[in-house]
Homo-oligomer: A and B are copies of this chain.
Amino acid sequence: MSTPQGARARARIEVTAAIKEEARKQLAAEGAARLSLRAVARELGMVSSALYRYFPSRDDLLTALIIDAYNSLGETAEAADAGAEDIGPARRWVGVCEAVRGWALAHPHEYALIYGSPVPGYSAPEATIPPASRVGLLLIGIVRDAYGRHGVARDRLPAELEPEARRMAVDLAPDLPPEVVTALVAAWAQLYGLVGFELFGQFNNVVVEREAFFRHAAARLAHGVGLVFP
C-alpha cells in the first residue's frame, strides 16, 4: 500500500496530488465557487476531460479539498495544544480557539468551504466526518483533563433538556457530566460564530481590536464550560 508497484500507479498518485495542489491554489485565490475544473486542467497542461480520470466530478474534487481543509485545521489546533498540558485547561482552551481563528484568517476560503454555507445540493459524505471532528474532540479532551484533575464548574440544566444532555454525554464524553457536555457543544458552535463573523466581514465597523476581543470572548467560552484560570 505504501509502495505502488508500477510507474503508472505512481504517476496516478502524483497527478492526483498535482490536481489537488493546483485546485487548492485556485481555491485560496478565488474561492470555491470560482474554482474551475477547466482552469485547473489548463494550468496543469492537460485537457479538461483528462481530469475526470482522477475526480469523477467537481464535487468530488471539492470533497477532497474539504477533507484536507478539516485535517489542516485539526492539525493546526492539535499542534497548538501539543505539550501544553501544564499551562492549565483554561489557557489551553483559549490557545486552541486562537489556533482555529489563526488558521481561519490564514485560509479564509478553505474556512468558508468547510464552515460557511455548504455548496448547494451538496451533502457531506461519510469520509468528511472524522476529520471534521478533530477540533471538537480536542476541546472535549481539554475539558476532560480539567475535570479529572481539578473538577469543573457546573450549572443546572432545565428539565426539558436533561434527556438530550444525557444522550449527548453518552455519545461524546460519557465521563463528563451532561451539563458540561451541553455547554461544550454550545461553546463549540459559538466559537465558530465568533470566527465566522470576523472572517465574513460582520465585524467591520464594529470590532477593531479583533485579536484582543477574540481572546476575551474565548476566555469567556472557557468559563462557560466550567474551566477556570489558575
Contact = CB atoms under 8 A, between A and B. Distances in A.
Contact of A120 (B30, B209, B216): B30
A153 interface: no
Contact of A220 (B121, B164, B186, B208): B186
A2 B34 CA distance: 41
Interface stretch (A14-22, A77-85, A199-207): A199-207
B194 A33 contact: no
A31 B118 CA distance: 10
A171 interface: yes
A187 to B, nearest CB: 9
A221 to B, nearest CB: 8
Interface stretch (A39-47, A48-56, A109-117, A143-151): A109-117
Interface residues of A, number: 60
B120 A32 contact: yes
Contacts of A189: 190, 193-194, 196-198, 202-203, 217
Nearest to A218: B186
A228 interface: no
A42 to B, nearest CB: 19
A11 interface: no
A127 B163 CA distance: 46
A172 interface: yes
B207 A185 contact: yes
A107 interface: no
